[in-house]
Amino acid sequence: MAEVDKQRWDEKHAQDTMPHVPIKFITEYAHLAKGKDALDIACGNGRHSKYLTTLGFEVDALDISSVAIAQLQGIPHINAMEVDFDNYTLKENSYDLIVCTYFLERKLFPQMIEALKSDGIILMETFVDHKDNGRKATNPTFRLKEGELEAYFSQHCELIHMEEWWDIDYQGFKSLKATMVARKL
């Protein structure tokens, strides 16, 4: 599975079709982190990693795509690493801020909490499975169930912001999304 994902994402990043501007949610909430060590999970072209460096963060930027990671090599304050999240374990007690947008790997949920330092912040935004979504997921396991983020993270974190909302994505499709700001207890 990982090799198929890697090839698909390498092709997408080679075509450079993904947005380069950080999503508004990240620019609104990144300042909540008390320290300056950040992790960008499934960083893609690095739009959030690059933005975080402008705020003074040192960023570990992780992605399965060697094409995406190559584009981030040599950028000051970004440690870009190609990883397969099927086999990679996040470093415990290492980050003040974790960003994860439009990537869903449920086995990372407990690792994300463990990877945070005390009072660390998780910023997460991704798609929610719903019959009215304009674009159907190729694999529904890559979409949250309604209420799933809140149900899991409210047991382990203080939820500062939690919302499920309808949006039009960058390709013009109506999509149900979930946005979460969580602080490690």
The model's pTM = 0.90
Q: pLDDT tens digits for 101-111?
A: 999 999 999 99
Residue whose token pair is 């949006």: 167
Cα separations in angstroms, 97 against 28, 134, 145, 163:
13, 32, 24, 19
- Weakly modelled stretches of the chain, pLDDT under 50: 1
Say which CATH superfamily domain 2-184 falls into: Vaccinia Virus protein VP39 (3.40.50.150)
Round to whole Å and give the CA distance between 85 and 142: 14
Distances (CA, A) of 171 to 18, 123, 148: 10, 23, 25
Query: Please, what is the end-to-end C-alpha distance for the chain in angstroms?
Result: 34
Q: What is the pLDDT of residues 8-23, one digit of tens each?
A: 666 775 676 666 789 9
Boundaries of every domain in the chain: 2-184
Confidence (pLDDT) at 172:
87
DSSP string, 68-103: HHHHHTT-TTEEEEE--TTT--PPTT-EEEEEEES-
